[in-house]
Structure 1
């Protein structure tokens, strides 16, 4: 579908956007940018709370330029479209997203992308959770859990690498193993499309807006 086509990847820093990027490259697409939305002060990612310097280090390892937007939730859509307009000027025709089955969000993505004549492409859409997790782990992507939803996932998982033992724990507890509903968030630190692994260090754990999160920095 995207063979030889230029694309940007909506980049959270986590496992699903990373697997979507991998699939797009594997299908012959040509990555032009990673696109990450930051908070108003431009210091952390809006979705996962990852420090900007970590996202930049991922981009360096992936050898793909990263472009940032920065906004409150209230101004999110306007800023998102503004950045897409700039991306489109560089003949980028597709936007890659890691959504699996949230229909409302898919419709939103398709709407904002089409407003600037970019096609939204979701390589993971409607794929089975188990097969996506198997693909991620078989490819040897290393994803660290950095945020968990309070009363859903225990904060003891913070800082641990997402692996089959964790998957089994989540299945036993009836937790979505892909975290599609925001049950947990990850940071990918290594994998087959990374030129070097990220060296990160855990900092303090903190609670905010219903989530336990772990702050991280570069070593």
Structure 2
């Protein structure tokens, strides 16, 4: 059976894409995670790299983590793809929904490396995807809000049926596909056990408000 990697931010869309890929019969060999080398956190999500590693442990899936700066992200990404090819991995699964420019950037590089580019969520209504994540037992916590689009009070909200209902009243993409919010998935069918975390301090740079999560 061909083996696949999953591009892993740690958020709910990554988790749903990985779960869908596995349910479709793909063998998930590893997660690929890139984080900011200066802060030790996933960009925008603000999740600590060690908590992302805890997600992989809870899922029972190997993880390959890469600390990068903005300037060396692309060569690091290409290097990670080359390593997958050497290890016999067939393709990479992504959690994109409708941002064509983002998909095109990754797809060109994945295919150039000789790997299959897989998008299990592509083109589906974000509301339906959010409902599916929740209905299958997925749970996540909101870790980042772009405050011009969604109020800071959403930080720390659990993505559950109440969140899925309430977010419909906010004029944004329900999945936050345009960067309105980011999340940390901690439970669901992908995980053999929940990922334990506690809420730390909040911080804001004037554009993004972020919640620090601490492992337990």
TM-score by length of 2: 0.95
Q: 1:216 Cα deviation (Å)?
A: 0.8
Q: 1:42 Cα deviation (Å)?
A: 7.0
* 1:139-218 equivalence runs, <5 A: 139-208=136-205, 210-218=207-215
Unaligned runs of 5+ in 2: none
**Which residue of the partner structure matches residue 137 of structure 1?**
134
Q: For each residue in 1:89-141, what CA deviation from the matched residue of structure 2 results, as whole angstroms up to 9, or x when unmatched?
A: 11111100000011111111111112211111100000111211121111010
Query: How far apart in 2 are the matches of 1:161 and 1:99?
Result: 21
**Which residue of the partner structure matches residue 21 of structure 1?**
18
Q: 1:209 Cα deviation (Å)?
A: 6.2
Partners of 1:33 and 1:67 within 8 A in 2 = yes
Query: How far apart in 2 are the matches of 1:42 and 1:28?
Result: 36
Query: How far apart in 1 are the matches of 2:95 and 2:114?
Result: 20
Q: For each residue in 1:155-192, what CA deviation from the matched residue of structure 2 results, as whole angstroms up to 9, or x when unmatched?
A: 11111101233233322221210100000001001111
Q: 1:137 to 1:76 in 2, by over 3 A?
A: same
Q: 1:40 Cα deviation (Å)?
A: 2.2
Matched, 1:5 2:2: yes
**Which residue of the partner structure matches residue 47 of structure 2?**
50
Q: Of 80, 85, 99, which residue of structure 1 is paired with 2:82?
A: 85
Higher RCO, 1 or 2 (CA under 8 Å, sep at least 6)? 2
Matched, 1:115 2:112: yes
Secondary structure of the 2:41 match is: coil
Secondary structure of the 2:34 match is: strand
Query: How far apart in 1 are the matches of 2:206 and 2:118?
Result: 30
User: How many residues are matched?
Assistant: 216
TM-score by length of 1: 0.94
Partners of 1:84 and 1:113 within 8 A in 2 = yes
Query: How far apart in 2 are the matches of 1:209 and 1:39?
Result: 20
Moved over 6 A (4+): none
Secondary structure of the 1:70 match is: strand
**Which residue of the partner structure matches residue 105 of structure 1?**
102
CA RMSD in angstroms comes to 1.3
Range 109-118 or range 179-188, more displaced: 109-118
